[in-house]
Structure 1
């Protein structure tokens, strides 16, 4: 677990400029759209004092947004780990290539996961762990619909505690930092709009670290990381022979 987090920091450091580029061109627009949609859809329910439905829609749209935002960062991590170099154009090509598939499959996944969260919490966590691997399977291996679901569930099942640990760790850090930034923004500016922008920028910078960590864990699980290490070892042997 900790080795994946450590490797993720290395990936982040090597690709910091690309992370910023993807954040500005993809993450921020998606977050802005998410904020507008959630506020627009939730407004009538707040007006009639129905608090459950706004929470449900926020959860659904948040998960759908995250699934889409995973794509370019997964592509970046996979390129870096597998080929030792990253082509910026491919990040956008992969996003366009896989966005529609991930978007369609994220709709039922987000709905059922959100229902699980709102009802008993635990079922939502279990569903999220089993289905979180969907974008990773699709982007890294480009499998069919059936195999994407099968491998995602298998990945979640065999790495259940590790993924749960990742989610809790990053969620805790996100909660603490977001709360602190929100408090400071309100104290110094007194404007919620500034607070929302601060949170979006933080998410833009922080989410890639989680995605890098999960990508590394997935490549370790499916065996590609071992193949890469073996190839590197053989190249070193050839150099000294």
Structure 2
């Protein structure tokens, strides 16, 4: 897990402008749309004082939104890992290519995960770990639905402890960072709108590091990282001949 985070941080630092580009053009707009949609859908339930349904809608829409936001970030990782460079156009082509598939798949899995989290917690976490690999399998390997689901579950099972560790680590960092910056925003501005923007900006910079860590772990798991290292080794041998 620590090795994945270390590699992810190097990737993050070396491609920060692309991270910023994705954040401004994809992550922030989707977060804004998510915020508007959740507030609109939850309003009647808050009015009639039904607390569970707003939380359920927030969780479902959040998971669906995150699934979509992951696509260009995964594309960045795989481009840089395979070629040593990143093309901005490919980030958006991969987003357009995979968004509809991942959107459709995310609906039932977001609902199942939300039910597990709200009612039983532990089953929800297990489902989240099993399903979080879906966008990674699709973008990296471009497989069919059946293969994507099978590989996602296998990836979750075989890396369950480390994936749970990454989830808890980044959730804690996100909570602390969001709380701290939200507190500062309220103190200096006193406006909830500033607080909401602060939370979205924190997520915009934190989410890529989390995605890069998972992507690096997935590439180690599926063996592609080893094959790439072997190719680099043989290329270096060829240069010295």
**TM > 0.5 between the two?**
yes
| Local SS of the residue matching 1:137 | helix
TM-score by length of 1: 0.99
Equivalent positions of 1:25-44 (< 5 A) are 25-44=25-44
2:2 is matched with which residue?
A: 2
Q: Deviation of residue 218 (structure 1)?
A: 0.3
1:99 is matched with which residue?
A: 99
Q: Deviation of residue 236 (structure 1)?
A: 1.6
1:21 is matched with which residue?
A: 21
Number of equivalenced pairs:
241
Q: Deviation of residue 106 (structure 1)?
A: 0.3
2:186 is matched with which residue?
A: 186
Per-residue CA distance 1:65-91 (angstroms, 9 max, x = gap):
000000000000011111111111000
Equivalent positions of 1:101-140 (< 5 A) are 101-140=101-140
Q: Deviation of residue 14 (structure 1)?
A: 1.2
Note if 1:200 corresponds to 2:200. Answer: yes
Alignment partners' CA distance in 2, 1:41 and 1:194: 22
Alignment partners' CA distance in 2, 1:59 and 1:112: 11
Per-residue CA distance 1:81-133 (angstroms, 9 max, x = gap):
11111111000000000000000000001000000000010000000000100
1:166 is matched with which residue?
A: 166
5+ residue gaps, structure 1: none
What is the CA RMSD across the aligned residues, in angstroms? 0.6
| Local SS of the residue matching 1:143 | coil
1:147 is matched with which residue?
A: 147
2:51 is matched with which residue?
A: 51
| Local SS of the residue matching 2:36 | helix
Alignment partners' CA distance in 1, 2:97 and 2:235: 33
TM-score by length of 2: 0.99
Alignment partners' CA distance in 2, 1:70 and 1:11: 15
| Local SS of the residue matching 1:114 | helix
2:77 is matched with which residue?
A: 77
| Local SS of the residue matching 2:235 | helix
Note if 1:210 corresponds to 2:207. Answer: no
Alignment partners' CA distance in 2, 1:182 and 1:97: 36
| Local SS of the residue matching 1:197 | helix
Alignment partners' CA distance in 1, 2:235 and 2:140: 24
5+ residue gaps, structure 2: none
